[in-house]
Amino acid sequence: MIMLYFSAFALGFSGALMPGPLLTYTIKQSLNKGPFSGLIITVGHAILEMLLIALIFLGFNIVLQSEIAQKTIGIVGGLMLLYMGADMIWGSYKNKIKIELDGGNTDSKSMVLSGLLISAANPYFPLWWAIVGLGFLLDAYKTFGTAGVLVFYLGHVSADFMWYGAISAIIGTTRRFISQKLYRIIVALLGCMLVYFGASFVLKAVF
């Protein structure tokens, strides 16, 4: 069981370290809302992973691997990221955003939902679970039963919480030293990254 946990942790960490829209959003929210943003966002990500595991065991892995599902996720998810990125760029340009250092409302529900939706918007996320994750899940289930699946899940999400939590803590605690002008520039650049991810998802789905 211990080896299973750390194997899942290592596997999850290798995926968490890869740059993507969830990391981009985490950096943006950490600058704006503070050092705990990454942990809150990862809750939404973890909820989606739990739902995906349930769907896979119900036999939906075949659906997730289908070309129609991949194209749909790519187009819809890509368009959502394009909108979010464009909104960040426009808000920076119009000077409508600023760093909030007063410790006010962190809008936790919104960040949890965003963590879930941004993860779902990445077509490689459900595809990874349907193909790569499926093999590890079945192996854990054959060896330890339902408890093995739970341990694998906990090991996997532990890596996500550690990585995004660490990124958020570092950025969230140093944001007070960033000027509002620099913050707007950073947000605009992060918005450009979301636009890039969104456009690439849509183009790959269409072509």
Mean pLDDT score of the chain, rounded to an integer? 91
Q: How does DSSP classify residue 58?
A: I
What is the rounded CA–CA span in Å between residue 9 and residue 12? Answer: 5
pLDDT at 104: 52
Evaluate if residue 35 carries a pLDDT over 90: yes
- As a whole-number percent, the residues of the chain with pLDDT over 90 amount to 67
pLDDT at 3: 93
pLDDT at 86: 96
- As a whole-number percent, the residues of the chain with pLDDT over 70 amount to 97
Confidence of residue 102 (pLDDT cuts 50, 70, 90): low
- Which residues are within 8 A (CB) of 80 and not within 5 positions of it... i.e. 6 or more apart? 117, 118, 121, 198
Confidence of residue 14 (pLDDT cuts 50, 70, 90): confident
Q: Please tell me the least confidently modeled range out of 37-46, 55-64, 168-177.
A: 55-64
Tens digit of each residue's pLDDT (9 = 90 or more) over 143-152: 999 999 999 9
Tens digit of each residue's pLDDT (9 = 90 or more) over 167-200: 999 999 999 888 889 999 999 999 999 999 999 9
pLDDT at 63: 85
pLDDT at 176: 86
What is the rounded CA–CA span in Å between residue 111 and residue 126? Answer: 20
Angle ∠(57,63,66) on CA atoms, nearest 5: 140
Measured N-to-C along each axis, helices 108-121 and 67-93 cross at an angle, to the nearest 10 degrees, of 130
Number of Cβ within 10 Å of residue 38's Cβ equals 31
pLDDT at 18: 82
Could you give the C-alpha distances from 19 to 27, 164, 176, 178, 183, in angstroms and in order?
A: 11, 11, 24, 23, 20
Quickly list DSSP for 101-160: -S-----HHHHHHHHHHHHHH-THHHHHIIIIIHHHHHHHHHHHTHHHHHHHHHHHHHHH
